Amino acid sequence: MRAGPSQEEVRRHNLGTLLRYVHVHGATSRAELTSRLGLNRSTIGALTADLTTAGLVTEAAPRETGRAGRPSLVVRPESSRVFAYALSIEVDRLRAARVGLGGRILDRREAHRPRGMQVLDAVQPLAGFVREMRADVPDDARYVGTGVAVAGMVRRVDGMVRLAPTIGWVEEPVGAALRTELGDEARGRLTMGNHADVSALVEHSRGAAAGCDNVIYLYGDVGVGAGIIADGRRVAGHGGYGGEVGHMVVNPYGRECSCGSRGCWETEIGEYALLKHAGRAEQSGRGAVLDVVEAAMRGDSQAQFAVRQVGEWIGFGVGNLVNIFNPEAVIFGGTLRDVYLVAAAQIRSRLTAIALPACREHIRLRTPELGNDAALIGAAELAFEHLLEDPLIN
């Protein structure tokens, strides 16, 4: 319970609100900012002047208005000058990007990650990517911070990876290892988060769930995770570990899970389940999943059986989550996207059978708009967040 803000806090809040608006929505006229933010014209003018001085936005006349009268200046985020590094540690690959304010990917690198790779072996190539990208950064550009998305449960305060069963890491100090390996230029301001969580936030702010306040973003590969947004905010939980829907037990008589429990949702809808039902248990990876989906579309009966089985269980678990969260949108990312595209009718039918009518009314099932870029842009958001909270911070 906290009392109201001071005038200075109000100003910083307004600066952050304006900067966040153009960061998310891109170039916006002063007139639109005035109406969207509910501030008067002179306040908008003063705020954009402050942000321009700070090198965070630029103002320019619009190219064409088609209307009479003096056109309203357009405010743009300084995407090419203000940037964050974004790193992503995934089951089968390591990715890095330089992301400009406004969520624009300016540069990127990627390497294969063999299963079983240890922390240090993963951290070194990521640090190498940052050094490579650093070489092309203009002298006047401003580094804001580095964000890291990990396909596992991450302790935000120090970047300890508590559990990433699909990567094979338990209680690994990834944050500390990154701080050691990264050069001075990217060592400070390192923030880490869960892959599905940061992807969810990006799909919510500027992707498939823009405008929806209650969203379940599911991401599947070997395992299944979720980023959940309730009333516009991430459901983080006490330690930030919320959203582990892959370990919701759906089948008490099901298979053992890598977490030690039995019948977890991911044992029924993850990569292995699909490949096993398709008679391809010896295969693995996104490519193998896509092969099954394509075979199903071509009419291969065993592939169709596999997709049906997994589709049933997807609908089943989504139905449970819909009863718990009453969301407007469910987004299927990773390999779940591919399965969803061939099993949508079945997923919806099972969902309808399990979810209560009031909980599922108005629901939209969707695929991601930002695809695999969501994790990189989302990782960068972790770094931008400090700046958006207080744009005049150093």
Q: Of 157 and 341, which has the nearer Cβ to a second copy? A: 157
Q: How far is CA 271 from the centre of its chain?
A: 20
Per-residue exposure over 49-59, b if at least 16 CB sit within 10 Å of its own CB, e if not: ebbeebebbbe
Q: How far is CA 340 from the centre of its chain?
A: 19
Residues 261-320 that bind a second copy (CB under 8 A): 261, 316, 319-320
Min CB(149)–a second copy separation in Å: 17
Min CB(11)–a second copy separation in Å: 7
Span from 51-59, 134-142, 288-296, 324-332 in contact with a second copy (CB under 8 A):
324-332
Q: Which of 55, 60, 239, 341 binds a second copy (CB under 8 A)?
A: 239
Question: Residue 168 region, left (φ>0) first, then alpha (ψ -120 to 50), else beta?
Answer: left
Q: How far lies 211's CA from each of 21, 202, 314, 322, in Å?
A: 13, 12, 25, 18
DSSP designation for 256? B
Q: Of 162 and 187, which has the nearer Cβ to a second copy? A: 162
Tokens of 147: 């964000």
Q: Of 293 and 347, which has the nearer Cβ to a second copy? A: 347
Rounded to 5 degrees, what are φ and ψ at 176?
Answer: -65, -40
Q: Which of 63, 67, 70, 238 binds a second copy (CB under 8 A)?
A: 238
Q: How far is CA 163 from the centre of its chain?
A: 19
Contact 25, 55 (CB under 8 A): no
Q: Total residues at the site for a second copy (CB under 8 A)?
A: 71
User: Residue 244 interacts with a second copy (CB under 8 A)?
Assistant: yes
User: Residue 21 interacts with a second copy (CB under 8 A)?
Assistant: yes
Span from 74-82, 244-252, 283-291, 293-301 in contact with a second copy (CB under 8 A):
244-252
Min CB(142)–a second copy separation in Å: 23
Min CB(300)–a second copy separation in Å: 27
Contact 93, 110 (CB under 8 A): yes
Q: Of 126 and 229, which has the nearer Cβ to a second copy? A: 229
Tokens of 323: 């009863």
Span from 89-97, 123-131, 140-148, 321-329 in contact with a second copy (CB under 8 A):
321-329
189: Cβ–Cβ under 8 A, 6 or more apart, which residues?
144, 145, 146, 383, 386
Q: Give SS3 for 251.
A: coil
Q: Could you identify the residue written with the tokens 């896509």?
A: 290
Q: Taking CB under 8 A as the rule, which mask of x and - marks residues 332-361 in contact with a second copy?
A: ---------------------xxxxxxx-x
Min CB(39)–a second copy separation in Å: 5
Residues 146-165 that bind a second copy (CB under 8 A): 153, 155, 162-163
Residues 25-64 that bind a second copy (CB under 8 A): 36-39, 43
Contact 58, 49 (CB under 8 A): no
Contact 23, 388 (CB under 8 A): yes
Min CB(194)–a second copy separation in Å: 11
Residues 362-391 that bind a second copy (CB under 8 A): 362-363
User: Residue 217 interacts with a second copy (CB under 8 A)?
Assistant: no
Min CB(353)–a second copy separation in Å: 6
102: burial class by Cβ within 10 Å (0-12, 13-18, 19+)?
A: buried
Min CB(230)–a second copy separation in Å: 5
Q: Of 176 and 354, which has the nearer Cβ to a second copy? A: 354
Q: Of 6 and 301, which has the nearer Cβ to a second copy? A: 6
Q: Which of 243, 270, 333, 368 binds a second copy (CB under 8 A)?
A: 243
Q: Could you identify the residue written with the tokens 């072996």?
A: 121
Q: How far apart are the first and last CA of the chain?
A: 28
Q: Of 195 and 280, which has the nearer Cβ to a second copy? A: 195
- Measured distance CA(316)–CA(311) in Å, rounded: 8
Contact 229, 171 (CB under 8 A): no
